[in-house]
Amino acid sequence: MQPEEVDAARDAALAAIAAATDLDDLKRVRTEHAGDRSPLALANREIGALPPQARKEAGQRVGQARGAVNQALAARQEVLDAEQAERILVEETVDVTLTTDRVPAGARHPITTGSELIADIFVAMGWEVAEGPVIEAEWLNFDALNLGPDHPARTMQDTFWTASPDGAGVESGVVLRTHTSPVQARTMLTRTPPIYVVCPGRVFRTDEYDATHSPMFHQVEGLAIDEGISMAHLKGTLDHFASQLFGEGITTRFRPSYFPFTEPSAEVDLRCFVCKGEDAATCRTCRGEGWIEWGGCGVVNPRVLTACGVDADRYTGFAFGMGIDRTLMFRHGLSDLRALFEGDIRFTTAFGTEL
Ligand code: PHE
């Protein structure tokens, strides 16, 4: 190989190295210009066949050219390595704050979040949350609430009785509570007025399990005992409750009714929050009524106050109770109550995930 050819091969190699844009490119350039079959490697091999004088000269020239090429390769390699590392840092950045879909996040049950939402409305007014056991003394579930032994609600038809140890059946004196009202009695027996409590909880009745009934469901009870409490306070409280839960302007109406533990008593209806009573005829939520049945309420019967150790001459009170499941059903437009109890994660997730 002529000296100019060696220089040309070196220059071509250096130009190719400088032009290599990434590591793959450089690898190809290395094979082409510094590999076993590259022009300079071939030139190196020819040297042995030259006469001694020419051999020395050619050896130096080719050796220098190969040295320059190898140096340039190493330098370019370093630059491209660094560039690649930099690029990986940017391109393969992992956002550790992104949620992963590998572990599906569950959701709190709508009855749990619904009960908390209801309790919060009362806590915001300074009320407290009270609780009681679901396996309850017959006396607290019935007698203390002026539901005498002959009251129809005590028959086997809607009460679950626990079996007594001696096999005497209904004589056990222990029931699965049929409403949250025994928490009223428990609260009055253990505290002194003023009393302002809400009691959300599970209740049981021997109902068939269908789209609108379940032998286990949920109620929320409210009880206020203070000096000078009247039906007006009850109405104002329920109107506030309704508008907090269903929106501004959604209030309640009372229809005369009877409960042994309240006198006077009323059924409380909720203004239909969908049609607002304005075009009830076509409304699917209230079915043409303009109102939705919500629960029961009244002024606490003085006999209940007395049975629970509250001075009925000094104090009066009001109480109310409504179904939480039912409330959630019409609030969220659910057509089948059973969806609330069957534990299908697709149902709870649809209510949104709360952590
Ligand atoms: N306990 C009643 C029921 O289960 C509801 C109610 C509560 C009525 C408080 C009046 C006062 O139907």
Which structure tokens are listed for 340?
């609330």
Query: pLDDT-based confidence at 354, cuts 50/70/90?
Result: low
Sheet holding 216-226, edge to edge: 128-129, 195-204, 216-226, 316-323, 291-300, 262-271, 252-259
- For ligand 1, the distance from its centroid to the CA atom of residue 223, given in whole angstroms, is 11
pLDDT for 44 equals: 87
- For ligand 1, the distance from its centroid to the CA atom of residue 327, given in whole angstroms, is 15
Q: What is the pLDDT of residues 6-59, one digit of tens each?
A: 899 999 999 999 999 999 999 999 999 999 999 998 888 888 888 888 888 888
- For ligand 1, the distance from its centroid to the CA atom of residue 178, given in whole angstroms, is 10
pLDDT for 59 equals: 87
Is 195's C-beta closer than 6 angstroms to any atom of ligand 1? no
Q: What angle do CA 218, 339, 120 make, to 5 degrees?
A: 40
Which residue's alpha carbon is nearest to atom 8 within ligand 1? Answer: 296
The pick from 259, 269, 300 for probing ligand 1's pocket by mutation, whose C-beta has the most ligand atoms within 8 angstroms, reads 259
Q: Which residues contact 348 (CB under 8 A, 6 or more apart)?
A: 106, 107, 108, 109, 110
Rounded mean pLDDT, 139-150 = 93
Is 317's C-beta closer than 6 angstroms to any atom of ligand 1? no
The SS3 call for residue 3 is helix
Rounded mean pLDDT, 189-200 = 98
Which structure tokens are listed for 9?
């091969």
The pick from 261, 300, 304 for probing ligand 1's pocket by mutation, whose C-beta has the most ligand atoms within 8 angstroms, reads 261
Rounded mean pLDDT, 234-244 = 98
Lowest mean pLDDT among 3-12, 76-85, 95-104, 193-202: 95-104
Exposure class string for 292-310: b at 16+ Cβ within 10 A, else e: bbbbbbbbbbbebbebbeb
Rounded mean pLDDT, 208-224 = 96
The SS3 call for residue 12 is helix
Report which of residues 156 and 307 the model is more confident about.
Answer: 307
Which residue's alpha carbon is nearest to atom 10 within ligand 1? Answer: 297
CB atoms within 10 A of CB 316: 21
Query: pLDDT-based confidence at 156, cuts 50/70/90?
Result: low
pLDDT for 43 equals: 87
Is 122's C-beta closer than 6 angstroms to any atom of ligand 1? no
Is 259's C-beta closer than 6 angstroms to any atom of ligand 1? yes
Is 264 in contact with 256 (CB distance < 8 Å)?
Answer: yes
Which residue's alpha carbon is nearest to atom 12 within ligand 1? Answer: 296
Q: What does the alpha-carbon distance between residue 316 and residue 116 come to, in Å, rounded to a whole number?
A: 27
Ligand 1: nearest atom to the Cα of 300: 11
Q: What does the alpha-carbon distance between residue 268 and residue 296 come to, in Å, rounded to a whole number?
A: 6
Lowest mean pLDDT among 123-132, 142-151, 316-325: 142-151
Is 181's C-beta closer than 6 angstroms to any atom of ligand 1? yes
**DSSP string spanning 234-258?**
HHHHHHHHHHHHH-TT--EEEEEEE
Query: pLDDT-based confidence at 355, cuts 50/70/90?
Result: low
Query: For residue 172, is pLDDT > 90?
Result: no
Q: Which residues contact 164 (CB under 8 A, 6 or more apart)?
A: 171, 172, 173, 174
Which structure tokens are listed for 258?
């009877």
Q: What is the pLDDT of residues 271-330, one digit of tens each?
A: 999 999 898 788 988 888 999 999 999 999 999 999 999 999 999 999 999 999 999 999
User: How much is the pTM?
Assistant: 0.71
Q: What does the alpha-carbon distance between residue 180 and residue 322 come to, in Å, rounded to a whole number?
A: 9
Burial grade of 285 (CB within 10 A; 0-12, 13-18, 19 or more): middle
Is 201's C-beta closer than 6 angstroms to any atom of ligand 1? no
Nearest to 86 by CA among 31, 23, 130: 23
Q: What does the alpha-carbon distance between residue 243 and residue 141 come to, in Å, rounded to a whole number?
A: 30
Exposure class string for 118-157: b at 16+ Cβ within 10 A, else e: bbebbeeeebebbebeeebbbebbbbbbbbeeeeeebeee
Q: What is the dihedral of CA 225, 231, 235, 238, to 10 degrees?
A: 30
Is 159's C-beta closer than 6 angstroms to any atom of ligand 1? no
* Sheet strands (E) in the chain: 128-129, 135-137, 174-176, 195-204, 216-226, 252-259, 262-271, 291-300, 316-323
Is 297's C-beta closer than 6 angstroms to any atom of ligand 1? yes
Which residue's alpha carbon is nearest to atom 4 within ligand 1? Answer: 179
Ligand 1: nearest atom to the Cα of 296: 8
Q: What does the alpha-carbon distance between residue 107 and residue 152 come to, in Å, rounded to a whole number?
A: 40
The pick from 151, 181, 183, 237 for probing ligand 1's pocket by mutation, whose C-beta has the most ligand atoms within 8 angstroms, reads 181
The whole-chain average pLDDT of the chain stands at 91
Query: pLDDT-based confidence at 168, cuts 50/70/90?
Result: low
Q: Please give the backbone phi and psi of residue 300, each rounded to the nearest 5 degrees, phi first.
A: -60, 125
